[in-house]
Amino acid sequence: MNHHHHRSASVSAALCAAVLLALSGCAAGDGPAATPPARIVESAAAPPAASASAVKPLARSLPVRVRLPSAVVDARDVMELGLNADGTVEVPPVAQADRIGWYGKGVTPGETGPAVLIGHFDTARGPAVLKDVARVRVGDEIAVTRADGTTAVFRVRELEQVDKDAFPTAKVYGDTRRPELRVITCGGEIVDGHRPDNIILYADLAAVRPA
């Protein structure tokens, strides 16, 4: 499957997932599916409907605080991240491992497109801001307060753990038709001092709380 095809497939699946969440509250929340394998929500796709775009996109405004209650995260002073010399995305410095970073070349949370947040799971100094990411489930809320005072509330649609060498760039950074959020951290058992995987949360804008 080439990248282009995969991206268009995930965009339509993403639209479908929004319908499921809008109609049933949390499509994957009941029973034994407490720890969904990656892509479980895509397998439950329904035809897209008008309600998929019920929450209107917001104008550009920088993120200043990120709350992910199920992972006990309340990170203020979000830092802007750029690109390293080799073209990879920066991560927050180890000395500030309690902070969440936002990829500044992308959209801000709440705008149409994929806003990308990045945080450490742990560093050589110990647990970091996303140390409890394993507690996150499909349907959980991520609230991003923006500089304009509004709070964009996203709902997790999918959790994915991938080898860093197989990072799904098009799926994470590719254009979407509505406001979405990605939260990226590291995972897997430590190999040579580093974790070999990325854990990615994919979330959709579910509500906007005014300033």
pLDDT in tens, 59-70: 999 999 999 999
Q: If you average pLDDT over every residue of the chain, what do you get? A: 80
CA distances from 120 to 67, 94, 114, 153, 158 (A): 15, 8, 20, 22, 19
Q: Which domain holds residue 144?
A: 55-209
- Is the residue at 21 inside a domain? no
Query: Cα–Cα distance between 78 and 94 in angstroms, integer?
Result: 15
Please report the pLDDT score of residue 209 as a whole number.
95
- Is the residue at 50 inside a domain? no
Over the range 147-166, which residues count as b (16 or more CB within 10 Å of their CB) and which as e? eeebbbbbbbbbbbebeeee
Residue 181, strand partner residues: 115, 203
- Is the residue at 172 inside a domain? yes
- Is the residue at 149 inside a domain? yes
Q: Examine the pLDDT at 82 and tell me if it is beyond 50.
A: yes
pTM: 0.76
Q: In sequence order, what DSSP letters do the residues of 105-139 get, joined into one string? A: TSPPBTBSEEEEEE--SEETTEE-TTTTGGG--TT
| CATH at 145 | 2.40.260.10
- Is the residue at 11 inside a domain? no
- Is the residue at 20 inside a domain? no
- Is the residue at 8 inside a domain? no
Share of the chain above pLDDT 70, in %: 75
- Is the residue at 75 inside a domain? yes
> pLDDT tens digit string along 90-140?
999 999 999 999 999 999 999 999 999 999 999 888 999 999 999 999 999
**What is the total count of domains within the chain?**
1
